[in-house]
Amino acid sequence: MTDVLFALWLRQLKRYVRSRARVVGSLGQPLLFLVALGFGLGPMYRKAGGGNYLDFLAPGVVAMGALFTAMFSGIEVIWDRQFGFLKETLVAPVPRLAIMAGRTLGGATVAALQGVLVLGLCLALGFRPAHLSGLPGALAFLFLIALLFTALGTALGSVLEDMQGFQLIMNFLVMPIFFLSGALFPLDDAPRGLRLAAALDPLSYGVDGLRACLLGVPGRGTALDAAVLGVLTALALALGARLFARIQA
């Protein structure tokens, strides 16, 4: 079981490393947000008394990098099903739970690495963490975000058979999750309905935790953020395992 889990984890990493176009292309959207919003809206944000907008924006864009990569990792389940690799994997004498865990951990590792690359991009553009001691905590939150949304992507990929349908559903889910997370704008003075939607958004706890670790902003509190993400991740993994166990190759 351990060998299968490790093999599937390693396969996901090899796919990511070999696809240079995928690595470079996935940095395009974060770069656009950082340059167009970070520098474009920065002067207005500063005049409004908000300080450096790039510092506020960077943790949200890092979370976005992990979110998009993690959710779209579920399409690989559909891809493998259509090209027969999934059938070869499922007939192996190992529990499907091990197969699902290996795929999910591999996808989460790739998504977390994508977030680290985006963080490096933020640093190159002028973002500076308040305290270097917060980096380990930020990496932990980044991996929790990646693991949660990879599990959700795998769960959806297990019940869908059409790539186009998967992409439409992903866009329908991913964009609201991102925009309601507080990644792009402060939610302290937002309308009550918007603050309620943000409180129900799992990514908002990841963004809040990243800001607390990278900028020293207290927010909701890192303990609450970690607890919510941990519980939701466990639920997503359980759901993904249940749906993957029923998959028909």
Q: Letter for the amino acid at 138? A: A
Q: Tokens 């993400």 label which residue? A: 229
- b/e per residue 14-30 (b: at least 16 CB within 10 A): eebeeeeeebeebbeeb
pLDDT in tens, 47-97: 776 678 888 999 999 999 999 888 887 777 777 777 666 666 666 666 777
- Across 65-79, 120-134, 149-163, 203-217, the highest mean pLDDT is recorded for 203-217
Work out the pLDDT band at 146, boundaries 50, 70, 90: very high
pLDDT of residue 189: 79
pLDDT in tens, 186-245: 887 788 888 899 899 999 999 999 999 999 888 888 999 999 999 999 999 888 888 877
The pairs formed by 157-162 with CB atoms below 8 angstroms and a separation of 24 or more are 157/74, 157/75, 157/76, 157/77, 157/78, 158/74, 158/77, 158/240, 158/243, 158/244, 158/246, 158/247, 159/243, 160/78, 161/78, 161/81, 162/78
| CA dist., res. 248 & res. 137, Å (int) | 39
Q: Which of 8-17, 46-55, 141-150, 183-192 has the lowest mean pLDDT?
A: 8-17
How far CA 35 is from CA of 53, 115, 120, in Å, comes to 11, 17, 14
Of residues 85 and 107, more confidently modeled: 107
* Residue positions counted in the chain: 249
- The dihedrals phi and psi of 201, each to the nearest 5 degrees, come to -90, 120
